[in-house]
Structure 1
Amino acid sequence: MKPAFYEPSVCMCTPDNPNTMGICVTLTEPVNCDALKEAVERLRVRFPYFYVRVKLEGNNLIVVPNDLPVVIRSTWDPILLCSAEANYHLLSFKFEGNRLAAEVSHSITDGAGFLPYFKSVLYYYLSTVTGQEFDPTGIRLIGDEIPEAETGNPFADIDLDASDEPLYQKPPVTDYFRLENPVKDGKRECTAFYLRFPEEQIMQYCKENDGSPNVLFSVLLAKAARRYDPKDERTVSCLISVDMKAQLGKFENYRMFIDTAFVDMPKEQADYDISKACTKARGQLILQAQPENVRYTLKTRKAGYEKMEQMPLQMCADVLKQALGAHRASFCVSYANSRSFGPLDPYIQEVYLLSEPNVTDVMVELSCINHHFFAMFGQPFSSEDFFRAFLAELDDAGIPYDIVRKEPFRLCGVRYDDIEGVNL
């Protein structure tokens, strides 16, 4: 039986473009490995869709249950998802000291879909190590009935085929601003900077300048680009992630349905103040994120899926590999709403969403907890020149920040050890 269009598209994650995402928290105490393993394994009955492996069935790659334990490693060094060293899982955990991270294949979920699972892991983990009985309100618990809205077709009540073409569609800019992306010894030197901001001041700044956190950071990135290379005449194009499920009121489903809006800032707008730039950028985002646009995007995606399922699997994999590996814009900003882990908040110092800068030169992932915004600033090179230009824009805007750390950006890769007959 062929998987439906809303099921995971495993071919979107390849050794060349692993498309791995994750969540990282800094806890108040060092991580207890045994308690973490217990929490992760207990939750497979509540979140069975994350405990899976890839299987070749006819002309399709599908996900099936995986009874092997999830690999939890006490090192930040990456492993390869779907491989024997990951017990063929699309999920893995790692910890060092009081830092804990979960990494997962983006083919099966997105930030909004993964956060409830991660919260449940922390709930059971912290219950064990602290001996506390936390208020379970808002936590998905072992023994809960898994609702259809969480695992079924999130758009079952929408006639996607009848969706009309929206009034406004923004064509992407093809010749956009690029940063130098040096490669050393044939390898990219991915680097991540971690920043902390006071929530109250960020939100007040957004209120005063007609912005939102994702719009504000896209504008600051564009201004940093002009500072970095004032002679470059090309438009700065920034992607802003759009949760298509949320735009259509489907908040519970775990599947990956992220789209992006293009926010473009031509050279002639370089002198706009932040308020004017935010107003223009926010307008572009709002127009592209209308429900009618989302429905039409889903209709197009569904039609593309139905066309590709007629192809041989290898041809389908080759098409997706080429499409998903293509560079798309200067920068990308994503903001998953993570404002509270409820009663667990006092035990969490930092929370970061993690995503690879594969199709843009810089990837900024925003999150918020305990009255602070946190930003993961990821880039596929080690030079700090552009990052320093970005910090200068923060300074000019009067936005306070702390640089928490800098480190090599090492998310899990992927290798399909038990899949034969198709080159991914």
Structure 2
Amino acid sequence: MDQWYRIDNTGKIFHAVSSATNSSVFRVSMIMNETVEPECLQEALDIVAVRFPTLTVRVRKGLFWDFMEHNDEQLLVKPETGHPCSPIDRKENNAYLIRVLYFEKRISVEIFHSLTDGGGAVEFLKTLVYQYLVQRGEEVETDGVILDPEDAPEPEEMEDSFERYASSDTALRQAGRAEKAYQIKGTAFEPPGIHVTHGVVDGTALNAFAKSRGTSLTGFLTSVLIQAIHEERMRRDMTDGTVSIALPISLRRQFPSVTLRNFFSVANIGVPMDGYMHLEDIIKEVTGQLISHTDKNMLQAGIDRFVSLQGKWIVRALPVLVKYPIMRIGFNQYGERSKTMTFSNLGNIALPESLKPHVDRMEVILYPTRKSPINAAIGTLNGRLTITFARSIEEADIIRAFFKSLTEITGLDVEVYSNEWGEVR
């Protein structure tokens, strides 16, 4: 009998809300120091795919929930064409919801968000790059910071950690209707596509600068981003209101877990903007909210509320044809309307010393949506921090303002490059 898996509590949402304007596909990449050899990459993928059974699956339709089962087809590496994070065509991808791409020195893994979050995707990418280097004949070691492709998967890697940590002790107050945040509007690319802009900076120096301003790296960059959005908005339409940045928070630190499935929460950091505001005031507000939103009790309440809602008999009893439209409405009312942009920081990615000479840096691309046409993500590797903006609209004022402010405020050099999608040539 084929092995099958329930889709985790968060993954169910992505199945319900994905659409032509919301692919729910994100990307993690490593930029190598030499041009990628496709044959070695395919050999590596054939080995690594077996090590990650919950990522190399096909999805089947169920009456009450979709479910995942083992996929016996070969997962093929492909040259990168078109724009990042496009919807995954299951017929063209042997029914997989994950794809591995290469372009010059870049190895990319794109994953439908129902399978895993950024933490799980990075673990897959690390193991893939390790095995790729092995296939090339390089002397590299896992050193305990990379999942060894020769090891059997641990049961804990496949668990739904939301279910594991859910508690009945927390008061399960239902969240009220979320406050509407300022939302970015613009001219959609025609034909549709995603423009990505990367900015590379010294991560160690930037982290030290953030601490000198009394906040974390995430707190500082979120504050600069909020100020850039507000100033560009004031320049255009002179409106006030709340700029709210949705920050995905990995739950693995507060709730120890090695799961390779989704295990994160989202903190909406909202700052009411009234005219011109000093960066110091924004930093203070953002830092305070970050501390409160990442408090373990607050995160526990979120887990409990989330699991309790999906466990209600009425939710379980509704067929998918009824349930998914209701979930889409809830996503738009409580998720999309309450944020201006999503800003995801995957943190400082650890690599064995033997791998570091072969890898330059990493990139993380978070798909835009109809109501969040610009999203951003950060990945740090080898001390090089890459901030990536992905947009589905022509207007890039906010992105230019952000990098200009970051350079002026910190005095650090930022190397900016893009895929030039939609730009007039």
TM over 0.5, yes or no? yes
**Are positions 1:32 and 2:44 aligned together?**
no
Matched ranges for 1:164-243 at <5 A: 164=171, 172-174=178-180, 176-185=181-190, 188-230=192-234, 231-243=238-250
Query: Could you tell me whether the CA contact under 8 Å between 2:172 and 2:304 is conserved in 1?
Result: no
Say if 2:370 is the partner of 1:370. no
The CA distance in 2 between the partners of 1:223 and 1:7, in whole Å, is 31
Q: Which residue of 2 aligns with 1:384?
A: 396
**Quick one: which amino acid aligns to residue 246 of structure 1?**
R
Q: How far is the alpha carbon of 1:157 from its aligned partner?
A: 5.1
Name the residue aligned to 2:372: 360
The CA deviation at 1:28 is 0.8
Q: Distance in 2 between matches of 1:129 and 1:4?
A: 35
CA distance in 2, matches of 1:82, 1:309: 28
Partner of 2:270: 264
Would the aligned equivalents of 1:14 and 1:321 in 2 still touch at CA under 8 Å? no
Determine whether 1:254 maps to 2:266. Answer: no
User: Where in structure 1 are there 5+ consecutive unaligned residues?
Assistant: 411-424
Distance 2:168 2:19 in 1: 30
Q: What are structure 2's unaligned runs of at least 5 residues?
A: none
Which residue number in structure 1 is paired with residue 151 of structure 2?
144
Deviation at 1:109, TM superposition (A): 0.3
CA–CA distance in 1 between the matches of 2:299 and 2:412?
Answer: 35
- Give yes or no for contact 1:202–1:399 (8 Å, CA) kept in 2: no
Report Cα offsets for 1:148-186 as digits up to 9, x if no partner. 3211232555452222359xx898431x3333321255x
C-alpha distance in 2 between matches for 1:299 and 1:154 = 12
> How big is the shift at 1:107?
0.5
> Does 1:90 pair with 2:97?
yes
Contact 1:236 1:266 survives alignment (8 Å): yes
CA distance in 2, matches of 1:282, 1:154: 27
CA distance in 2, matches of 1:321, 1:344: 42
Aligned ranges 1:24-173 → 2 under 5 Å: 24-77=29-82, 80-81=87-88, 83-155=90-162, 158-164=165-171, 172-173=178-179
CA–CA distance in 1 between the matches of 2:58 and 2:133? 28
Q: Which moved more, 1:281-290 or 1:68-77?
A: 68-77
Cα distance in 1 for residues equivalent to 2:194 and 2:261: 27
Equivalent of 1:294, from 279, 283, 299?
299
Residues 321 and 170 (structure 1 numbering): CA distance in 2 closer, same or farther, change over 3 Å?
A: closer
Deviation per CA, 1:354-378, whole angstroms, max 9, x where unpaired? 2112253432211111112111112
Partner SS state of residue 418, structure 2: strand
Identity of aligned residues (%): 16
Once residues 193 and 33 of structure 1 are traced to their aligned partners in structure 2, the CA distance between those partners, rounded to angstroms, is 26
Match of 1:345 among 353, 356, 380: 356
Counterpart position of 1:321:
328
The one of 295, 311, 332 equivalent to 2:318 is: 311
Deviation at 1:408?
Answer: 5.5
Q: What is the deviation of 1:22?
A: 1.5
Q: CA deviation at 1:294?
A: 1.6
CA RMSD of aligned residues (A): 2.6
Q: Distance in 1 between matches of 2:282 and 2:182?
A: 17
TM-score (norm 1): 0.87
User: Partners in 1 of 2:7 and 2:130 — Cα distance?
Assistant: 33
Partner residue of 1:419?
Answer: none
Aligned to 1:421: none
Distance in structure 2 (CA, Å) of the matches to 1:47 and 1:367: 22
Query: What SS does the aligned partner of 2:151 have?
Result: coil
Structure 1 residue 14: deviation in Å? 3.8
* 1:417 aligned partner: none
Residues 194 and 171 (structure 1), Cα distance of their counterparts in 2 relative to 1, 3 Å cut: same
CA distance in 2, matches of 1:142, 1:348: 19
Residue 65 (structure 1) shift: 0.5
- In the aligned structure 2, how far is the partner of 1:204 from the partner of 1:133? 31
Within 2, Cα distance between the matches of 1:105 and 1:91? Answer: 6
